Chain A
Amino acid sequence: MVPPLRTLAALLAVALTAGCAAYAPPQPWEKQYLALPAMQFDADRLDVKNVQHVYYSKEGAAGGYGVGGGGCGCN
Chain B
Amino acid sequence: MAATERGALLAAALALPGVTAAPGAAAQGAPDAAFVQFKYLDYRDWQPGGRRMRVDNPGFYAVKPLSDTLAIEGSIVYDGMSGASPLYFNALSGASGEGVRDYRTAGDVKLTKWFDRFAIGAGAAYSHERDYISRAGTLELRTWTEDRNRTYAFAFSGAADRIHTESGAAERERKYVLDFLAGVTQAVNETLIVQSNLTYSRGHGYFDDPYKLFDRRPDRRRVLAWLTRANQHFPERNGTLKVAYRYLDDSFGADSHMVEAVWHQALPGGWSVTPSLRYLTQKAAWFFRGPPIGSGLRPGEPYTADARLSAFGAFTPGIVVARDFGDGWVADVKVEFYRQKASWRAGGGGTEGLLPFSARWIQVGVGRSF
Contacts and interface: CB of A to CB of B under 8 A. Distances in A.
**Interface of chain B: mostly helix, strand, loop or mixed:** strand
B346 A68 contact: no
Contacts of B308: 57-60
Contacts of A45: 37, 61, 73, 75
B82 interface: no
Interface string B278-312: 01111001000000000000000000001011000
Interface stretch (B12-20, B64-72, B225-233): B225-233
A51 B338 CA distance: 11
**Interface of chain A: mostly helix, strand, loop or mixed:** loop
A26 B190 contact: yes
A11 B241 contact: yes
B279 A5 contact: yes
Interface residues of A, number: 60
Interface string B63-99: 0000000000101010000000100000000000000
Contacts, number: 261
A31 B225 contact: no
Nearest to A31: B25
A8 B314 CA distance: 13
Chain B interface residue bracket vs A: 35 or more
Interface in A38-73: 38-41, 44-47, 49-51, 53-55, 57-73
Interface of A: 1-2, 4-5, 7-9, 11-12, 15-16, 18-19, 22-36, 38-41, 44-47, 49-51, 53-55, 57-73, 75
Given A8-B243, A61-B254, A68-B159, 5 more contacts: A50-B39, A63-B246, A64-B227, A64-B248, A67-B157
Closest 4 CB pairs of A and B: A60-B254, A64-B227, A63-B225, A28-B24
